[in-house]
Amino acid sequence: MVAVHAFDTFLQERLIPVRLSEPLAPFTTMKVGGPADFFVEPRTPGELAATFRAAKECDVPVRILGSGANLLIRDEGVRGAVIRLTHFNRRDGLHVQAGYNFARLVKETAAEGLGGLECLAGIPAQVGGAIRMNAGGRHGETSSAVKYVDVMTPEGDLRRLTRDEVGFRYRGTDLGSAVVLAAGFDLRPSAGIWERYDEVLSQKKSSQPLGTHNAGCMFKNPPGGHAGRIIDECGLKGMRVGNAHVSERHANFIENDGGATAADILTLVEKIQQRASQPLELEVLVW
Ligand code: EPU
């Protein structure tokens, strides 16, 4: 406990914004989960590096929270520090900081007639999260439009990685404990970009329960298949535990009707995995 107190004292002495026992549910789209011991919002790369240094010295585990859209936080909350890059939210042309709203970037570049991101319309994320998770869907994935990624290592060193060095794969990267600070996108002026954006967004609106409290697709698609179709074909739409249920609109979504706990959702996840006709692996991260 002595070491734990030293961590927030260290941050407060350097005027780095930190809050104790911060409820995390409001920072997620699913709206469940307990508090973080420390919630840190550094304003500069220097403050972020100092936060890492303090965490290492005090043996405090660190996690980076984006828009909490692909995340389930357990009811007990998160021990250690949760960092949010709220203040890293600038866009300079095609160089965009990690805390920038990804859906907004996709919409803005589509409106500017720049092609490359329009196939990702409507994905809730921060730029950093979209890069780290290689967010995407049926029409494409983030990696295709990335030129470079600026990261900070846990030692506080800054590096610019080429797209190949990021090691993009299906819903993941090789970034490990490096934190995305910004990315450069490779977008080209082309015709019909806004129309395509609009089409992808409409398709998403008609097939997914947007506007409810959910974490997007819960499971990864197994090779050659679709988790949503598999769950649907097993007749599991509407299955309920507590205040959570399998979406009627898209079976790979779980909706929180209000007041669901993380335990409800995890029990529902297990039930789906037991009853599905194929092994299903979680896509959503669990903290
Ligand atoms: N389907 C059903 N029943 C359902 C849901 C889907 O039969 O309840 C069928 C559809 O009719 C379709 C097929 O399954 O034939 C695929 O459905 P969809 O087009 O919705 O695509 P998906 O594979 O389920 C993927 C991504 C989504 C992304 C969409 C659209 C994964 C795990 N999911 O879904 O991503 O929005 O494509 O691009 O890769 C997410 O990652 O959180 C997410 C929602």
Q: How do residues 183-217 score in pLDDT, each as one tens digit?
A: 999 999 999 999 999 999 999 999 999 999 999 99
Nearest CA to ligand 1 atom 43: 217
| pLDDT tens-digit map of 40-74 | 999 999 999 999 999 999 999 999 999 999 999 99
Q: How far is CA 183 from the centre of its chain?
A: 15
If 0-12 CB within 10 Å is exposed, 13-18 middle and 19+ buried, where does residue 268 land? buried
Query: 172: which DSSP letter?
Result: B
Whole-number Cα distances in Å, 137 to 80, 123, 189, 266: 33, 9, 22, 24
pLDDT at residue 4, as a whole number? 56
Within 8 A by CB and 6+ apart from 76, the residues are: 34
Q: List, in sequence order, every beta strand (DSSP E) within the chain.
A: 18-23, 35-40, 62-65, 71-72, 78-84, 91-92, 95-97, 114-115, 136-137, 140-141, 146-152, 158-162, 179-185, 188-189, 240-241, 244-246, 254-256, 285-286
Q: 232: Cβ below 6 Å to ligand 1?
A: yes
State pTM to two decimals. Answer: 0.93
Distance CA 79, CA 240 (A): 29
**Ligand 1 center to 109 CA (angstroms):** 24
Tell me what the mean pLDDT of segment 210-232 comes to.
Answer: 96
Residue 225 has pLDDT above 90, yes or no: yes
Q: 249: Cβ below 6 Å to ligand 1?
A: no
Tokens representing 276 are 């599905």
